[in-house]
Amino acid sequence: MIRINKLREAALRRNYCLDEFHYLFYKRYSEIENKNEYEKYSDAFYYAFSELTPNITEGELIVGEIGNNLSENEIEEWKNVYKSKASKRINEAGSGQDSHMAIDYELLLSLGVNGIINKIDQYMLNSTKDSAAFYSAAKTCLLAILKHSENYADHAEKLALAENDVNRKKELLQIAKTCRKVPACPPESFYEAIQSVHFVTYCISLNPFRPYHQQFQLGHPDRYLYPYYKNDIEKGIITKEKAQLILDCLGIQINMRVPNGLSSGYMVGGRDEDGKIVANELTEMLMQVVDDIKLVYPSVGLCYTEGMPDSYLEKACDILSHGRSHPAIFNDDVISSGLLRYGVPESESHSYIHSTCVEITPVASSNVWVASPYTNMAQLLLDSLTREYDSFDEHVSALFEEIDKRIENNFISQNDLRRHRAKHSINPILSCFVNDCLAKGVDIENGGARYNWIMPSFVGMANLVDSLYVLKTIVYDNKEFSLLELKEILDNNFEGNEPLRLRLLNNISKYGNDIDEVDGYFGMFTSHIISECKKYNGVFETGNLIPSVFCWVMHERFGKATGATPDGRLAGFPLGDGSGPCQGRELNGPTASILSSTKWEHRELIGGVAVNMKFAKSLLGANSLGVMKSLIKSYMKRGGFEIQINVTDKELLQKAKDNPEEYRDLVVRIGGYSDYFVKLSPEMKEEIIMRTTHEI
């Protein structure tokens, strides 16, 4: 583990900077005249990758990482000449989502990049003028990747010449040999397959029209890597221990590729295209990476399905009990059923990825815009407190009308962004690895992908539910206040009314405690949202509007801007952190919380459902893992979509808050993704600490 410890330290110190790539691309791009956009793009793309500096961290076995290797003169030239040109073109390309997907790794591994180039040559025989320009650019971009891989091989050989350690010299020469073979050709070994997968992912993550890091996922590696692993093990080419080391190095490279605060990883388990359960050695080993490297990535999702051997869920629970924030547990049966409802064929319905947090996108076929956009449900409720209503039902109807308007307006806005991107942006390299771009001869930005969904997310649902029940109780049933009287108290952030706030917070029933009347409101609103979203279809074919109820970090961002709410929440405090109860409101234990969180239909919320639970690490006993496993299985059996578990203690979190330097690698689960606790805002730290800790 000495190697992994050194690499993880390098990852924790990582300085993420895209300046070198953007400098090289726009230096060439700005020089090109009298060429169409595809020619300009591919020419500049090839130049950037041919000149981009290879970086190999000491001890690394899997290579391909962005560095910041500009000279002082180049830095000045970037700042004074090309950065403004880059910003202008990036702004022209347009905003919107990207990279929340997994590419076609099976295509890459079966054909290699050279095989994909051969496919493009065949398509070009019957191409139109427009598709020919697209195909030519795609081919040039693929050649750029191969050139960059050759440069890595040269760099590794150069390092080997200067290396005194015999073992490291041998490793560097193996890296060089491997980079000359893959991703150009199909891999023949487990090591070659992983290098090919990582290198192409790293390359497509450098997008000159996007100013920030991309967060591509690796799909289901326990499926596409298993034949290589099995073959190497049977032939004695590799040991399980060496294979685990290589997987750990892959996990480190995800952290070198994606800054914290985002999310990138892979899924394991579930069922394959034939409906057979996927459960093998790699399933456990890919989860083990989380425990070995102890970093924020990979974001691992275990796809649990009925009939899967308990050992895999037990493995996940064991890792979680060590204080790791992964794996998250996803319900393969529920998700696959939901995908079928949105027109995904049975053969594809088990091939999906949690595209960053919990947003489900089909592997190899997606240009799906997740969390587009987020809607603040607590603020919608506050916006409705402008007049008196004759009844609670009338008030709810008014809320439905506002939700419908927001869905429509957001849909129009997202479609406008789609149209703009289709006109002003291209991504020929990514298009090579996404169905059905090459077959159609259409860039992914112009609708070439098989699935072009838009996924709005509705944040603060639990605050909405709890607040509505408070209003029903004290305004409409007991008539203690008029709506406008209560609004005035909220506008003043409960100033002078602390006893009332505590009563609203603590003495009126809340979502998450297995109280049917309260819990029923959650399903009432999600059902309405699902139904309303079905009315819309986007600018591209298969542009369904598919909702979600997770939040990423938006519960904090929205919370800061949202005034006090009727549930007793003070102004500025984060909203509920997902689809479960609000922080600290689960008073009847984890079972009651699970019951509440599964009284409403999850399967059509393919945009993502995130339920967080926290267990006390100091109170874990001999039977605790069994209890944890039983709770998860109960959640799954009741139709739960996804559950994520933190095993920690308030005392530890408080120590990390007070002494951040001593806990810089402490990872916690947020609202569908994980992050380093000490890097969170003060408000988010406090919100994490306040979450209910269960004893099992």
Average pLDDT over residues 319-335: 94
Residue 672: its pLDDT value, please?
A: 66
Dig out the tokens for 578 from the structure: 């997902």
Q: Cβ(360)–Cβ(352) under 8 Å?
A: yes
Q: pLDDT, tens digit, for every residue of 269-325?
A: 999 999 999 999 999 999 999 999 999 999 999 999 999 999 999 999 999 999 898
Q: pLDDT, tens digit, for every residue of 214-234?
A: 999 999 999 999 999 999 999
Average pLDDT over residues 187-216: 96
Q: 3-state class of 472 per DSSP?
A: helix
pLDDT exceeds cutoff 60 at 695:
no
Where do we find the tokens 């359960």? Answer: 277
DSSP strand pairing (642-648 vs 299-304): unpaired
Residue 574: its pLDDT value, please?
A: 92
In whole angstroms, give the CA distance from residue 394 to residue 557: 30
Q: pLDDT, tens digit, for every residue of 75-109?
A: 999 999 999 999 999 999 999 999 999 999 999 99
In whole angstroms, give the CA distance from residue 374 to residue 543: 18
In whole angstroms, give the CA distance from residue 480 to residue 190: 69
Beta bridge partners of 615: 647, 694
In whole angstroms, give the CA distance from residue 467 to residue 214: 37
Q: What does each C-alpha distance from 674 to 262, 490, 665, 682 come to in angstroms?
A: 8, 32, 12, 16
Residue 652: its pLDDT value, please?
A: 79
Chain-centroid distance, C-alpha 190 = 26
Q: Cβ(580)–Cβ(612) under 8 Å?
A: yes
Looking from the CA of 33 toward its CB, the CA atoms found within 13 Å total 1
In whole angstroms, give the CA distance from residue 278 to residue 281: 10
DSSP strand pairing (328-331 vs 642-648): antiparallel
Phi/psi for 549 (5° steps) reads -135, 55
pLDDT exceeds cutoff 70 at 619:
no
Alpha helix stretches (DSSP H) within 226-303: 226-234, 240-257, 281-293
Is 356 or 119 the better-scoring residue by pLDDT?
119
- Indicate the domain borders of the chain: 1-65+100-214, 374-609
Mean pLDDT is lowest, of 38-42, 199-203, 211-215, for 211-215
State the sign of the Cα–Cα–Cα–Cα dihedral 226, 175, 219, 200. Answer: negative
In whole angstroms, give the CA distance from residue 109 to residue 483: 62
DSSP strand pairing (611-616 vs 674-676): unpaired
Mean pLDDT is lowest, of 460-464, 499-503, 628-632, for 628-632
Mean pLDDT is lowest, of 155-159, 187-191, 383-387, 673-677, for 673-677
> Which pTM value belongs to this model?
0.94
Average pLDDT over residues 438-459: 97
Average pLDDT over residues 449-456: 97
Q: How many residues does the chain have?
A: 696
- Closest residue by Cα to residue 231 from 282, 275, 174, 184: 282
State the sign of the Cα–Cα–Cα–Cα dihedral 89, 93, 96, 97. Answer: negative
- Residue 317: exposure state from Cβ atoms within 10 A (0-12, 13-18, ≥19): buried
Dig out the tokens for 628 from the structure: 């944890």
Q: Cβ(268)–Cβ(286) under 8 Å?
A: yes
Q: pLDDT, tens digit, for every residue of 661-690?
A: 777 777 777 766 777 888 888 877 877 777
- Closest residue by Cα to residue 384 from 467, 473, 501: 467
Number of H helices, E strands in the chain: 28, 12
3-state helix, strand, coil in the chain (%, to 5): 55, 10, 35
Mean predicted lDDT score pLDDT of the chain: 94
Cis status, amide bond into 318, omega within 30 of 0: no
Q: 3-state class of 328 per DSSP?
A: strand
Where do we find the tokens 């799954």? Answer: 636
The DSSP output letter for 80 is: I
Is 49 or 323 the better-scoring residue by pLDDT?
49
Beta bridge partners of 269: 303
Q: What does each C-alpha distance from 67 to 57, 256, 356 come to in angstroms?
A: 10, 10, 23
- Closest residue by Cα to residue 436 from 427, 426, 449: 449
